């Protein structure tokens, strides 16, 4: 009998999971419960976790096989499947709404973040329910989006390594609406800076349309804002949400998150 308890955090998405120590091996019924909870709630929060890198990777594997992240300059030394999110190594907070690693043929099912050092104020992470965003669009626009395909590449930063560009820069096509493999529902799916263009549109028109979609779709009613506490693990469903970081914290303070992404299905519209 699983002792997992799940309590919603917001009317649209997000739930706190209690009764799970991610430092211990997770049995099959617990994994099953968590897989379905993620598909239903789209963002799961585990509080007060205390994890070594190896324990963290083992826990993350409950949501799928950990996959390599394409900015290898930010891999944790000795644990290349963990990415370090840390402004002191030159990273800018990803403040634009996006879902992760859409330049991969099988992009992540989930992004998992572990709060290791948390500033005293600000620096939260917001997650938007793109299943609700899809449902709220007018019928004709839903039909239009269902017919569109993005082509995705690596949106290199100044410090991107040439070998990563070569490995992960091949254009990958994805539908702009995808069916969730566990939940069965549809969600709007794109990454505005990794999608270089939408099929049949110029890059400029594509970007303008995606910008306009984000502006219209992402309303406070479909956003869960996570205020970090040290020891939090936040699991984000990348198949039916977008997320963004908030850079509104004092840079003299440290903010360190450990990120793991786990492989999912090839996006499909069914
Ligand atoms: Fe991200």
What is the tens place of the pLDDT at every residue in 99-122?
999 999 999 999 999 999 999 999
pLDDT tens digits for 79-88?
999 999 998 8
Question: Token pair for residue 20?
Answer: 């799970």
Give the mean pLDDT of the chain: 95
- Establish how many alpha carbons lie within 13 A of residue 269's alpha carbon, considering only the half-sphere containing its beta carbon: 18
Instruction: State in Å: Cα 3 to ligand 1 middle.
Output: 31
Q: What pLDDT, on a 0 to 100 scale, did the predictor assign at position 2?
A: 66
Would you say how long the chain is, in residues?
Answer: 270
CA of 1 to the centre of ligand 1 (A): 35
Nearest residue to 249 (alpha-carbon basis) of 99, 46, 92, 112:
92
Closest CA to 238 of 114, 63, 71, 81: 63
Q: How far apart are CA 173 and CA 199, in angstroms?
A: 9
As a whole number, mean pLDDT of residues 2-22 equals 96
Nearest to 126 by CA among 7, 218, 254, 252: 218
State the average pLDDT over residues 245-252. Answer: 95
Residue pair 212/64 in contact (Cβ under 8 Å)? The answer is: no
- How far CA 128 is from CA of 81, 219, 247, 262, 264, in Å, comes to 25, 8, 17, 19, 19
CB 227 within 8 A of CB 121: no
pLDDT at 217 over 90: yes
What is the CA(263)–ligand 1 centre distance, in A? 14
Q: From ligand 1's centre to the CA of 172, what distance in Å?
A: 18
For residue 225, the CA-to-ligand 1 centroid distance in Å is 14
* Each residue's pLDDT tens digit, 178-203: 999 999 999 999 999 999 999 999 99
Alpha-carbon gap, residue 226 to 127, rounded angstroms: 8
Backbone φ, ψ for residue 9 (5° rounding):
-110, -15
Supply the pLDDT for residue 71: 87
135: which 2 tokens?
């449902």
């Amino acid at each position: 009998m699983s002792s997992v308890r799940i309590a919603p955090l917001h009317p649209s998405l997000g739930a706190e999971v209690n009764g799970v120590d991610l430092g211990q091996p997770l049995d099959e019924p617990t994994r099953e419960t968590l897989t379905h909870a993620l598909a239903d709630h789209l963002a799961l929060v585990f509080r007060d976790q205390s994890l070594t890198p190896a324990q963290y990777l083992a826990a993350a594997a409950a949501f799928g096989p950990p996959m390599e992240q394409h900015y290898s300059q930010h891999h944790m030394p000795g644990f290349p499947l963990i990415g370090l999110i840390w402004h002191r190594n030159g990273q800018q907070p990803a403040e634009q709404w996006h879902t992760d690693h859409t330049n991969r043929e099988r992009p992540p099912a989930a992004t998992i973040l572990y709060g290791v050092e948390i500033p005293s104020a600000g620096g939260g992470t917001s997650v938007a329910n793109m299943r609700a965003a899809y449902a709220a669009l007018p019928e004709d626009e839903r039909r239009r989006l269902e017919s569109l395909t993005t082509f995705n590449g690596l949106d290199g930063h100044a410090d991107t390594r040439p070998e990563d560009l070569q490995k992960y820069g091949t254009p990958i096509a994805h539908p702009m609406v995808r069916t969730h493999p566990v939940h069965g529902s549809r969600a709007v799916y794109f990454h505005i800076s990794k999608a270089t263009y939408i099929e049949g549109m110029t890059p400029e028109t594509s970007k303008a349309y995606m910008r306009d979609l984000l502006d219209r779709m992402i309303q406070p009613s479909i956003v869960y804002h996570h205020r970090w506490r040290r020891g939090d693990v936040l699991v984000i469903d990348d198949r039916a949400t977008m997320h963004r970081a908030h850079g509104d914290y004092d840079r003299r303070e440290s903010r360190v998150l450990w990120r793991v992404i786990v492989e999912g299905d090839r996006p499909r519209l069914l």
